[in-house]
Chain A
Amino acid sequence: MMPVWAEVALKLVGCLLAFLTLPLLVGQLEHKTMAHMQSRLGPMYAGGFHGWAQLVADGVKFAQKEQIVPAAADSVVFRLAPVVALLPYLLVLAVIPIGPGEQVAQALDVGLFFALAVISVAVLGPIMAGWASANKYALLGGLRAAAQLLAYELPLVLAAASAAMAAGTLSLPGIVEQWRWWWLPYQGVAAVVFFTAGLAELRRPPFDMPVADAEIVFGPYTEYTGLRFAFFLLAEYAGIVVFAALTTVLFLGGWRGPFLDVQLGWLWTLIKVMALSFAVIWLRVSYPRLRADQLQRFAWTVLVPLSFAQLLLTGVVEVARA
């Protein structure tokens, strides 16, 4: 038996490793998938085999670039923003179970609320960046980000609440314990709402109004260079991993698989997370960007009513079962 501190340290190192590798894996997947969907090859040379080291090379490039803080910018908030955007996603990874039993870094009784709360802090990052840059494009991007995040926070939390009600617990490992295959049709609407609202929270296409490059350069990140810019990019890919993992845990049964649940739980989790990340990339290639009014209308007239209907259904079914 390992002493407690060694186990905790090992789990935290595991979280850190996942945090450092999985987003890069998703990034590389995005390079290659987008390329092939657009009849290109994508990176082919860096590292030899199909350009696997392209993102490592990009990282080295970002680290070498000069980190500029514009003269008119609010330098403290400007420097703080990338950290605020990135750090919460690292914290969330700690409560996501990858396998049955003890295979979670920190099992919290209110793990679902912890995850949602910490993610909601991450959205402050782009808003801070947009304001502190002292650039009108960045400010517009920050405004758009704030409006979008306010609108999509509600369906996100309501959809997650539906899963928690069905499972009768707020603990993420507990939700996977309660999961059964018939949750797929039963909680299907909530799953779609959660995934879509997650996309919007991450400002991924088709919800990328805040960074619309054709209109406002790169929104809140316009003035960023070097490592700070890389942090924002990393936050986006870490966010994809976190939202894919949360969707997996809440709605797709986490470590449950067709066979060998107990032994291969981590593999099923990983496969589901990667499949959902692929779907995120696929949507980026397939859909055009939504306008601001379309974004708001979609959130308030489609996602919110849908999530309320799902909540009603879950409530009725759970009371009937009790």
Chain B
Amino acid sequence: MTTKDVVFGALGLLACCSGVLVVTARNVIHAALWLVVTLGALAACYLLLTADFVAWVQVLIYAGAIVVLLLFAAMLTRAPVGPGQDLDSGNRPAAALVAGGVGVTLVTLLVQAFRSAYVDLDRVAGTGAGRPIGDALFRSYVLPFEIASVLLLAALVGAIVLTRPEIGRR
């Protein structure tokens, strides 16, 4: 076990614990701020795995933009300082069941698939930099990349249509 393994494990634990705090926090804003910690710990994990580009994009998009959007929405609607009373919905057991099921399935799948896989970090150093990622995205995997972008565009258009009912009526 090397130092990297220990740090990686600690960061993983941090990500998991703050993830639990996101869903158990009694306050919407606290939940969003714990989400920043989760996402930051994940980004640090990516860094340790030499995926620099992915790590910083993770911070830029998720911690910087998505959490700011979440905070904005929460502050615009209702964000009392102190514990919120009505955060727990009646769907709690069902949600726990679904989330637990998905979690167990994913963990089992990953463990089964990658049990014996081991990445030598010294050998892959540099593959997570800007140029190799760009090469992979726009040469080898350009078709899935473009399909994903069309999917995102469709979701964007859908969101606009759903939030503006007068568009459908016309």
Interface of A toward B, CB cutoff 8 Å: 72-74, 77, 108-110, 113-114, 116-121, 123-124, 127-128, 130-132, 134, 139, 142-143, 146-147, 149-150, 153, 157, 169-171
Contacts and interface: CB of A to CB of B under 8 A. Distances in A.
Given A146-B72, A153-B64, A157-B60, A124 B36 contact: yes
* Interface SS of chain B: helix
Interface in B113-170: 126, 129-131
Contacts of B81: 72-74, 131-132, 134
A130 B68 CA distance: 13
B33 A128 contact: yes
Nearest to B29: A131
Interface stretch (B11-19, B51-59, B90-98, B104-112): B51-59
B37 to A, nearest CB: 11
Interface string B31-61: 0010010000000000000001100110110
B59 A118 contact: yes
B22 interface: no
Interface residues of B, number: 28
A132 B71 CA distance: 12
B6 interface: no
B130 to A, nearest CB: 4
Given A74-B81, A143-B76, A123 B64 contact: yes
Interface of B: 27, 29-30, 33, 36, 52-53, 56-57, 59-60, 63-65, 67-69, 71-72, 75-76, 79, 81-82, 126, 129-131
A248 B98 CA distance: 51
A116 B56 CA distance: 9
B59 A120 contact: yes
B71 A113 contact: no
Given A114-B56, A124-B68, A143-B75, A170 B33 contact: no
A139 B75 CA distance: 8
A153 B63 CA distance: 13
